[in-house]
Amino acid sequence: MRGGRISTMAEAGKPAAVKLLCGMISARVELFDAALEALAGRFGPVDVLSETMPFDFTHYYDLQMGSPLYRRFAGFERLIDPAALVEAKLATNAIEAEFAARGGGQPARPINLDPGYVESSKLVLASMKNFSHRIYLARGVYGEVTLMYHKGRWDGLAWTFPDFASARYHPFLSSVRQRLMDSQRKERSA
């Protein structure tokens, strides 16, 4: 009993909708437009797009993708349930496989597509690889809180990839977050 009231356990509720995004990495910048078309066909219209930036914090992908590598992000207009991240990761893997099949194996992985979502307090990325800081979601997909939004800025964690921790992507992520907040405000006032 607390303050004269009987405490009850928390009840399950519906999570707030989140803003889906997808990071793209490729040595062939012309593939970004084709990937955006495939992604929009699956997730709906893109409403925010980053500039194309060098992906130069690691050489992890060079053997399978070539070099130099470039990165671009897209955010999607339609808000999603956070649980839809599993299906988003499976869909982006299928799109990647289509690009690889069309490319005839040169390079082995023409494009890398990494979905995630932004909610008001964090960026969550999907992965097919388990690690100590990742939580299993379903169907072989794990989720990772990559950045936290606190006091008006994005903060990395001990495991945050160096490119995300560098703040290079933070302006784009802030624009995605702002669009999310605007959409949520519109929904509340409707």
Domains (range + CATH), the chain: 18-189 (3.30.70)
pLDDT band of 103, cuts 50, 70, 90? confident
Q: How confident is the model at residue 1, as a pLDDT? A: 47
Model pTM?
Answer: 0.93
Tell me how far apart the 2 most distant CA atoms of the chain are, in Å. 70
Burial class (CB in 10 A: 0-12, 13-18, 19+), 93: middle
Please state which of the ranges 14-28, 30-44, 95-109 shows the lowest mean pLDDT. 95-109
